[in-house]
Amino acid sequence: MKKSLLAANWKMNGTQDSVDALLAGISQYDLPEDSMECVIFPSLVYLSQVRSCLQDTPIAFGGQTVSCFESGAYTGDVSASMLVDQGCEYVLIGHSERRSLFGETNTVVVEKLAQALKVGLKPIICVGETLEQREAGLAVQTINEQLMPVIESLVNPGILSHLVVAYEPVWAIGTGRHATPEQAQAVHHDIRQLLVNYDAGLAGSVRIIYGGSVKASNAAGLFEMPDIDGALVGGASLDAEEFLKIGALCNQSCS
C-alpha cells in the first residue's frame, strides 16, 4: 500500500535549544507506520542532533540539498554519501528556493538526483510555477519542463517508484497564500498523467505531495483530493503542535 508522506522543511531556522524543544514535541507523535511516513529536513548542522533525538522513533530525516559531486574540492558542499553517513534516508532536490536563489537548473537537479540514487537516498523532487507563469497559463508546461529531464534520466524505469514529487507553487511559499484544493489537485493530476505516460504501471505508486503555506487550517481540504498524497510543510513545521495537527489530518484523509 502506498503510504502518505508528511515532510517538515525547517529551512535555515533553529538553534540547538529550539531543535531539542521542537523534536521533543514531534517525537511524541504516535505515527501510524502502516499507512504514513514522517520526515524531518533540518539544517545540515543539526543532522547529528536530530539523529540522536529521533533514534528511538519511526520518524525519518534527510538533507535539504545535496551536492552534484561525489567528493573533492567543492567548499561548502555536502555529498550524498555524507548525508547517508549521518543517517539520512531522504533528500530534497530542486526546491524553488534553491532554483531561484542559488541558480539550480534542471540539469543540476538531474545531476543531484544521480548522486542521491547512487547511495540509496530517497529523493523528493520539487517542482512548481511562479505567479507570472500561472497567470500566463504556463503552469503545466513549466512543471513538465522541470520534471521530464528527471524522468528521462532514470536508467531503470523501476526507479520511478522510489521518487516523491513535491508540487510547490512558488507564489504560495512563505507568502501566506496557498493553492485551493481544486487548484492543487488539477496540477497533481497533470503530474500523475505525465508519470502515466512514462510508465502506467508505476505511476500510481509515486507519491505526489503538496507544499505551499500548508497549515492545519487548510490541510484538510488539500488532503481530501485524490492525487494529493501528503505535504511538504515549511513554516508551520516549526511549531510542533501545528505540525502534529497537520499530521493527524493527513492520516485521516490521505491514507
CATH number of domain containing 137: 3.20.20.70
Domain with 81, as residue range(s), is 4-254
Q: CB within 8 A of 220, min separation 6: which ones?
A: 249, 252, 253
Among residues 97, 111, 168, 242, the one annotated as catalytic is: 168
Residue 122 phi, psi dihedral angles, 5° rounding: -95, 115
Q: Which residue has the cell 495537527?
A: 245
Residue 227 phi, psi dihedral angles, 5° rounding: -105, 15
Active site residue 168: yes
Looking at the structure of the chain, the number of domains it has is 1
Question: Looking at residue 187, what is its pLDDT?
Answer: 96
Q: What predicted TM-score, i.e. pTM, was given to this entire model?
A: 0.95
Q: For the chain, 255 residues long, give each residue's pLDDT as a single digit of tens.
A: 789 999 999 999 999 999 999 999 998 888 888 899 999 999 999 999 999 999 999 999 999 999 999 999 999 999 999 999 999 999 999 999 999 999 999 999 999 999 999 999 999 999 999 989 999 999 999 999 999 999 999 978 889 989 999 999 998 877 777 789 999 999 999 999 999 999 998 999 999 999 988 999 999 999 999 999 999 999 999 999 999 999 999 988 765
Active site residue 189: no
